[in-house]
Structure 1
Amino acid sequence: MAGRARRVIGDWGSTRLRLFLVENGETTARLDGPGVTQLVEPAERVLARLLSVWLAAGAIEAITLCGMVGSPAGLAIAPYAPCPVDAESWHHARTRLRVLGHDVEILPGLSYRTADGVPEVMRGEETQVFGAMALNPALHAGDHDFALPGTHGKWVSTSDGTITGFRTAPTGEVFAAITGHTSLTGPDTPGEGSFDDGFAHGLSRSAEPLPGTLFEARASRLLDGRSREWAKGYLSGVLIGAEVAQFGMGTQNVTLIGDPALAALYATALAHHGGSSQLVDGENAVVAGLAHAITLAESLRP
């Protein structure tokens, strides 16, 4: 194994770290660790401890990372690259450093301002978008729309392989806050209705102004005997539906990138609001995006 070209690529986000060992262009192993916001020791130590398993089997040429690892809480600050950004300019804007004797590249997040001056930022999702385009060359030509559900969901526009702009909806964070820190879902006591039933009802209400629809979750538990899972599903349907109504109403062929189960809820919401979608697995997309960054790095070697 000592003669094989070995690199490490990784997505180090807020809630989790995913590292992949790449040998001669093939992903051969994976390690998982804590996200940037969950660290109880310096990021360098976490990285060194995880890499020790692979280092015991041979040297690693370089490490390429994306995500919140480039934030003030990570290894080093990787400045945002302003849109419009193609894959080459994105990779060119990377931050390079030495960490515990290893060459590390941190790919930048992106920044954007809408026509009316609204500021936007993201870290990590751009890697998935470039990865989706690498996996499906048809997405590299012409204009396309991408949606990346998550804690801070992104709606990204591209043109001929260039990310031209994006918007953010913190739907996942709002859902977690509402279901975990308010009385809207109530205690976990017996009741009727499944998450899916609640989601369908919430989706049917999602075109209405958001504040007025939220309390129905609690009232339905008290007066209609609904279960806590139904209430959570209802709130999910209202929130995801409202996000889609704002950013994806009637949009066709949206490429959803992310966890298949969560993406399925967005596909349902898009169909409800007159749109259509296709799915790209989020992990496959991030690996492809990081692998594409390696290819770009190799092309720059003398």
Structure 2
Amino acid sequence: MAASALPACELLACDWGTTNLRVWALDAAGAVTAQRDFPLGVSQLAAGEAARRFHEEVRPALGAERTPAILCGMVGSNLGWAIAPYVDCPASRADLAARLLAVEDPGGPVRIVPGVRSDGFNGRGDVMRGEETQLFGWLASHPRYAQGRRLVCHPGTHAKWMLVEDGRLVGFVTAMTGELFAVLGRHSVLRSEAPSDDMAAFDDGVEAAGDGDALAARLFTARARIVGQGAPPQSASSYLSGLLIGADVAATPRLLRAQAEEVILLGDSRLCGLYARALSARGAKTTTFDGEAAAIAGLVALHGMEMAQ
């Protein structure tokens, strides 16, 4: 669709990560009127390039040359447009709104959502950028969850396990589950030449993960079951996925001193489905919410709070 034919845009909401930029054009009611992906991840941009590419490429593509914009994700890191300093846990949506970073852009006001910092595991520190926007967008869209204590998991390359108390993010821990799966599946003896979606193998991996301890030792079972027990080689990827996700759901909540009896899953439907399967095997209840819808809701809510100040 040509930019001139696009519906009127009142706000650009952007999730700008390491490898990709996703932009939604929103109308006055917060409904999506257009959506575009750009191969402009911050890891691919030189210093100062994010601002120029946003103004010269992103705005015209959405017909939003004179429109306010709000951005979340790694765009606020030292790799991105500008550093939006972290907000410390415990953090609320109001805390984020009060710390939105204003950056220069000829097309209109641009704000960057700050990341969040926590003590992490044993006080060694942890950080996030982007997931906090989804979390608070989910809470804004589903206010009944803003009361009491909630354990929320955002699966992904770096899975985030977040503890929420009365609508505030009080702590979180990051598990490099997705990145481990990618590295081990491509660059180790556990790689699979022709991976398949084998749910029986996935379930075997979840069971083999046990309580999640001694993961380095458990990982080699992914190879031993093939060369020593005759399991189909194409099942290796599904088994490895089950082993890593199984270890994640078994061990990571303990680092937050949280009971994983009920877990909110927030993110991509396929990944959330795998986590739900692994959690169910451990007797946990899960409820899944769409991560993209939560991101949009979070950006809209933060923009609205700033406008009301």
The one-letter amino acid of 2:51's match is E
The one-letter amino acid of 1:52's match is P
Contact 1:85 / 1:164 at 8 angstroms: preserved in 2? Answer: yes
User: Post-superposition shift, 1:252?
Assistant: 2.6
User: Post-superposition shift, 1:257?
Assistant: 0.3
Aligned residue in 1 for 2:134: 128
1:88-110 Cα distance to aligned partner (Å, 9 max, x none) = 11111111111244321000000
**Partner Cα separation in structure 2 for residue 266 and residue 231 of structure 1:** 18
Contact 2:91 / 2:168 at 8 angstroms: preserved in 1? Answer: yes
The one-letter amino acid of 2:112's match is I
- 1:233 correspondence with 2:204: no
Q: How does 1:1-302 map to 2 (within 5 A)?
A: 6-25=10-29, 26-34=31-39, 35-39=41-45, 42-48=49-55, 49-55=57-63, 59-114=65-120, 116-188=122-194, 194-207=197-210, 209-248=214-253, 251-300=260-309
Contact 1:44 / 1:100 at 8 angstroms: preserved in 2? Answer: no
User: Post-superposition shift, 1:217?
Assistant: 1.7
Deviates most, 46-55 or 266-275: 46-55
Contact 2:138 / 2:298 at 8 angstroms: preserved in 1? Answer: yes
User: Post-superposition shift, 1:220?
Assistant: 2.5
User: Post-superposition shift, 1:214?
Assistant: 1.1
User: Post-superposition shift, 1:235?
Assistant: 0.8
1:67-114 Cα distance to aligned partner (Å, 9 max, x none) = 000011111111110011110111111111112443210000000114
The one-letter amino acid of 1:223's match is G
* Identity value in percent: 36
TM-score scaled by structure 2?
Answer: 0.88
Identify if the C-alpha distance between structure 1 residues 234 and 5 changes in structure 2 by more than 3 Å, giving closer, same or farther. closer
The one-letter amino acid of 1:270's match is L
**Partner Cα separation in structure 2 for residue 288 and residue 12 of structure 1:** 16
Deviates most, 162-171 or 209-218: 209-218
Contact 1:263 / 1:279 at 8 angstroms: preserved in 2? Answer: yes
**Partner Cα separation in structure 1 for residue 188 and residue 20 of structure 2:** 26
Identify if the C-alpha distance between structure 1 residues 28 and 5 changes in structure 2 by more than 3 Å, giving closer, same or farther. closer
TM-score scaled by structure 1?
Answer: 0.90
Q: Indicate the SS of the match to 1:240.
A: helix
Contact 2:157 / 2:178 at 8 angstroms: preserved in 1? Answer: yes
Uncovered stretches (5+) of structure 2, i.e. residues with no partner: none
Contact 1:185 / 1:218 at 8 angstroms: preserved in 2? Answer: no
User: Post-superposition shift, 1:242?
Assistant: 0.6
**Partner Cα separation in structure 2 for residue 17 and residue 2 of structure 1:** 19
